[in-house]
Amino acid sequence: MVSNTTHGLRVTPAFAAPARRWRGPQTGVAYDPAALGALLQEIERPLFVVRVGDQVGVTSDGATDGSTLTDGTELLAEAPAVDPRQFGDPAFRATYGVSHAYAAGAMANGIASEALVEALGGAQLLASFGAAGLVPARVAAAINRIRQALPDGPYAFNLIHSPSEAALEERSTALFLEHGVTTVEASAYLELTASIVQYRAAGLSSGPDGTVNIGNRIIAKVSRHEVARHFLSPAPAVFLQQLVTQGKITPLQARLAETVPMADDLTAEADSGGHTDNRPLLALLPALMAQRDELQAQYGFATPVRVGAAGGIGTPEAVLAAYAMGAAYVVTGSVNQSCKEAGTSPHARRLLSQADFADVIMAPAADMFELGVKVQLLKRGTLFPLRARKLYELYRAYDSLEAIPAAERQTLERQIFRRSLDEVWADTEAFFRERDPEQLQRAAEHPRRKMALVFRWYLGLSSRWSNMGEPGREMDYQIWCGPAMGAFNRWAAGSFLEDWEQRSAVDVAFQLLRGAAYTWRVQQLRLQGVQIPQEFARYRPTPRPS
């Protein structure tokens, strides 16, 4: 059966079903496609598609009692009111004291800045400060500022695994424990370390009824089964025994740690900016949820680990898809880097706002350079990815700086470093003398290690140049970016979010969430046979009432 109105609304029932009755004021029924577009926007109200005589119209008034039509007006389709707070796991909202199952992930070197965390926290949304790559004094200052701005939260701090700089991870852990940071976003872990086990166990206590109170929360960002298993399981006994012996945790905390998983939340990190394995979310998220269920059945934790989704989250459709697959929460990254609160330069934000989803490339990572680990970056408007690849090729080809041919060395000094390698090494020595002196000892014993540290000078500074807007170094900017950025820009084109100078992380969050709710209504109506006019098929960013 096909139903039409004289103005073009059309319903083609997908299957035979008994006609249902709608009761309401017929004066409130509209009969043109524009009315459908307007009512789709009103996600807080129900939407009914009804037949009155030989016309099909839409209204948000009235109700249906579910009874079979015998007289009156026929209900053809309906979409109930929807609140974006309904998406995801309510336990995520309760645990972190947030309004929505949504988080802004950490971006290193303070790109996920104090201002970004404060803005989102003020809107009752969780954000993680990008502590990775910053010296302890800088992180301590951020903790003090954010705690003052958000005394009751919500906020988190990034704890990144640095295989080549274990001392930095240890100092970060000590800093978070000392300052009472109760939520960390753990990223780039290949395996567990004593530091992250200490953070988890040191926050455990036993309640009067014997329940385990978890004081230090961990949101673990992973993209591999073998890494996920570590966080979905209790802390390894070998670390717990070591920490008890060192007096860093109590015997009681060690016993309690054997009864809870290492993480409260596990973020399935798909194809994203920065550290990424380029995993497709459609494959990764269900796999990690199945792994969670398997280990939950094995250990019987009182509270199962929640599994969220990150990577590629840059449009309402992507947000809805993640929730529809069962994600307990969604995490955005690249799209926040283009916002005015991000700790990066106007030049970098402008380049990000112009990116398409194919304008990304993989290049060597500064923190795991020797391991060959790569990060995903913006390739538009910068030569950094190509220059970083060149450095890694030289590292693989030669055993020391002295072994590099003179012509290659001159090219490095003239085009990439813009100074002699001896001067770069002097700066590198000064840096690690304060940050991690052990690195200098290792470099003295292994010339190839010294070469890696010199190359990492460029890799590390390039991201700081991008953040600070270093004049003259624009072509060396390292800008972490995933394909979500390009997808977001295409969606935002022509709307108030297109202007990168006006983008705010709060607006981005609520537009994505509201758009997901809008998209859900569109899909519900389509499943009932309503043919949605093309101009209303996608949500367009709409400024929130002031």
* Nearest partner of 109 among 426, 431, 478, judged by Cα: 478
Is residue 97 predicted with pLDDT exceeding 90?
yes
The tens digit of pLDDT for each residue in 165-210 reads 788 899 999 999 999 999 999 999 999 999 999 999 999 999 998 8
Cα–Cα distances in angstroms (integers) from residue 360 to residues 301, 315, 433, 453, 510, in the given order: 40, 17, 35, 26, 26
For residue 5, name the pLDDT band (cuts at 50, 70, 90): very low
Q: Is the pLDDT of residue 68 over 70?
A: no
Residue 442 lies in a domain: yes
Identify whether 198 is part of a domain: yes
Q: Of all residues in the chain, what percent carry a pLDDT higher than 70?
A: 96
In a domain, 236, yes or no: yes
| pLDDT attached to residue 434 | 77
Do residue 154 and residue 266 come from a single domain? yes
Give the least confident one: 143-157, 333-347, 430-444, 513-527. Answer: 430-444
Backbone angles phi, psi at 29, to 5 degrees: -85, 130
Residue 347 lies in a domain: no
CB within 8 A of 265, min separation 6: which ones?
92, 217, 218, 219, 220, 305, 306, 307, 308, 328, 329
Arithmetic mean of pLDDT, 39-63? 92
pLDDT at 7 > cutoff 50: no
What pLDDT is attached to residue 366?
87
Query: What does the pLDDT read at residue 33?
Result: 87
Listed residue (227, 512, 223, 230) closest to 375, CA to CA: 223
- Nearest Cα residue to 347 out of 461, 476, 458, 456: 476
pLDDT confidence of residue 4: 42
Question: Domain for residue 110, yes or no?
Answer: yes
Q: Are 428 and 399 within one domain? A: yes
Do both 434 and 313 map to the same domain?
no
Tokens representing residue 107 in the block: 């971006």
Does the residue 388 lie in any domain? yes
Q: Cα–Cα distance between 511 and 208 in angstroms, integer?
A: 44
Between CA 458 and CA 474 the distance in angstroms is 13
pLDDT at 236: 98
CATH code, 286:
3.20.20.70
The answer as to whether 218 is a domain residue is yes
Residues 244 and 211 in one domain: yes
Q: Which domain holds residue 167?
A: 85-332
The answer on 94 and 69 residing in a single domain is no
CA distance 521 to 515: 10
Check whether residue 95 and residue 69 sit in a common domain.
no
Kindly state whether residues 34 and 162 are assigned to the same domain: no
Under 8 Å between Cβ of 482 and 333: yes
Q: Strands 217-222 and 265-269, how do they pair? A: parallel
Give yes or no: residues 263 and 116 share one domain: yes
Q: Do 401 and 450 contact (CB within 8 A), yes or no?
A: yes
Whole-prediction pTM: 0.92
Q: What is the mean pLDDT of the chain?
A: 93
Name the maximum alpha-carbon separation found in the chain. Answer: 92
Sign of CA dihedral 277, 281, 282, 286: positive
437: Cβ contacts below 8 Å, ≥ 6 apart: none
The region that residue 508 occupies, defined by phi over 0 for left and psi between -120 and 50 for alpha, beta otherwise, is alpha
Q: What is the DSSP string of 124-176?
A: T-EEEE--TT--HHHHHHHHHHHHHH-TT---EEEEE--TT-HHHHHHHHHHH
Residues 342-372: pLDDT tens digits? 999 999 999 999 999 999 999 999 888 888 8
In the structure, what pLDDT confidence band is assigned to residue 441 with cuts at 50, 70 and 90? Answer: confident
pLDDT tier at 518, thresholds 50, 70, 90: very high
Beta bridge partners of 112: none
Mean pLDDT of 50-71: 81
CA torsion 223-227-233-235 (nearest 10°) is: -130
The reply to whether 383 and 523 lie within a common domain is: no
* Residues 239 and 256 occupy one common structural domain: yes
Tally of domains in the chain: 3
Summarize pLDDT for 396-422 with one digit per residue, the tens: 999 999 999 999 999 999 999 999 999
Contacts of 452 (CB under 8 A, 6+ apart): 369, 370, 395
pLDDT in tens, 454-505: 999 999 999 999 999 999 999 999 999 999 999 999 999 999 999 999 999 9
Q: Which of 451, 438, 462 has its CA nearest to residue 388?
A: 462
| The predicted structure's pLDDT at residue 70 | 55
Residue 61 has pLDDT above 50, yes or no: yes
Q: Is the pLDDT of residue 279 over 70?
A: yes
The neighbouring-strand residues paired with 205 are 213
318 and 406 inside one domain: no
Does the pLDDT value for residue 3 go beyond 60? no
Q: Give residue-wise pLDDT tens across range 131-162.
A: 998 989 999 999 999 999 999 999 999 999 98
Residue that is written with structure tokens 């954010």 in the block: 146
Residue 17 resides in a domain:
yes
Tell me: do 27 and 159 sit in the same domain.
no
How long is the chain?
546
Of 332, 366, 401, which residue sits at a domain end? 332
